[in-house]
Amino acid sequence: MEQPVLNVSKLETHFFTDDGEIPAVDSVDFHINKGEVLGIVGESGSGKSVTSLSIMQLIQAPGKVVGGEITYKGENLLTKSEKEMRKIRGNEIGMIFQEPMTSLNPVFRIGNQLIEGIRIHKKWSKKKSWEHAISILKLVGLPRAEELMNEYPHQLSGGMRQRVMIAMAMACDPEVLIADEPTTALDVTIQAQILELMKKLNRETNTSIILITHDLGVVAEICDRIVVMYSGKIVEQGKTSDIFQQPKHPYTIGLIESVPDVRVRKDRLYSIPGNVPKPGSIQKGCHFAPRCSFAFDKCFEEDPVLLETGSNQQARCWLHEDEKKAAVLERVNS
């Protein structure tokens, strides 16, 4: 089998506060292969963005990665120094941050911000870097790329700024691209264009993409596999088609049920009752149990492990220990 380009194993990221040590990411395992698009989904507060920042080693105090391994091309990134990570960030692993207006520096022109990383990593002249930056802006579908190089972020629309962020992340041809909510706050037309752009980049450059989102519609559009996170843990993972057709965890079922369907008329849209718990507030049992309509005694006493529920599909749910209990979920799916 092909070796994963990036492998995350038993990753633990905690925040050290006045209230104690808070586990934001708790023993997370996943991998991504060359040319694959992996979706990480879950509600706000599930640990998705903290996971991505941990991969890039951008967790700031009071947060800290306290355990696990992040293996990129056979090397553990957690053993790298800051100087070594600067050579990897943007060059081999790129990242599109959640809000382009806060990620782009408002006092520097677009061109200056684009060529900075190119000159550092590629060691090219300013002229060659400038020409390459223009070609990347054209690649991501921005009109009048030459003029945009001399404009400031506030002169661009939200969709254009997001495309600039994608161009910046792709400028050095990274092996892996992490996209953290790349379509948040964009209208549906621009969202569709951004997703089509990412699919195009994946097809043409064979770049591996980790797409972090709460939007299952976006995941269904471009992802090969899905990792579902809840309260800092992975609760389900598998192929996109398998998870949409036969979700194995009550939380995943709830997320899919929450997606509006234009073919079905409802007086009220479904929503999962309750909220994501505050990290560290649940000391034992399944973290989803207080919101789960299928929970039974064991769910409140022991934290479940990821159980095999089918071909290349796993779910963190005690229901799958018992065929009769698992059959309840099957009936719901059908």
- What per-residue confidence (pLDDT) applies to 1? 47
Q: Does pLDDT of 39 surpass 90?
A: yes
Q: Does 294 map to a domain?
A: yes
Which pLDDT band, with edges at 50, 70 and 90, does 185 fall under?
Answer: low
Q: What is the rounded average pLDDT of the residues 250-260?
A: 89
Tell me whether residue 301 is in a domain: yes
Q: List the single range of 19-33, 119-133, 245-259, 320-334 with lowest mean pLDDT.
A: 320-334
Average pLDDT for 278-299: 90
pLDDT for 173? 86
Is pLDDT above 70 for 332?
Answer: no
**Tens digits of per-residue pLDDT, 208-223?**
999 998 888 888 889 9
Give the pLDDT mean for 293-319.
88
Q: Which pLDDT value is given to residue 7?
A: 96
pLDDT in tens, 152-165: 999 998 888 888 98
User: What pLDDT, on a 0 to 100 scale, did the predictor assign at position 31?
Assistant: 95
- Is 30 a member of any domain? no
Please state, in angstroms and as integers, the Cα–Cα distance from residue 193 to each residue in 2, 48, 196, 218, following that order: 31, 24, 5, 12
Mean pLDDT of the chain: 89
Q: Give a yes or no: residue 38 inside a domain.
A: no
SS3 100: helix
Q: In angstroms, rounded to a whole number, what is the distance separating the alpha carbons of residues 196 and 132?
A: 22
Does position 134 have pLDDT exceeding 80, yes or no?
yes
* Owning domain of residue 318: 247-262+273-334
Q: Which helix (H) or strand (E) covers residue 12, if one does?
A: strand 6-17
Question: How far apart (Å, rounded) are the C-alpha atoms in residues 286 and 289?
Answer: 5
More confident residue, 291 or 327: 291
Task: Answer yes or no: is 314 within a domain.
Answer: yes
Band (pLDDT 50/70/90 cuts) for residue 133 is very high
pLDDT at residue 184 greater than cutoff 80: no
| Structural domain count, the chain | 1
DSSP codes joined into one string, 182-234: TTTT--HHHHHHHHHHHHHHHHHH--EEEEEES-HHHHHHH-SEEEEEETTEE
Q: Which of 76-80, 142-146, 261-265, 285-289 has the lowest average pLDDT?
A: 261-265
- What pLDDT score does 262 carry? 75
What was the pLDDT predicted at 140? 82
Q: Is residue 132 part of a domain?
A: no
Query: Is pLDDT larger for residue 330 or for residue 108?
Result: 108
Residues of the chain above pLDDT 70, percent: 96
Could you tell me if residue 307 is inside a domain?
yes
Helix, strand, coil percentages for the chain (3-state, nearest 5): 40, 25, 40
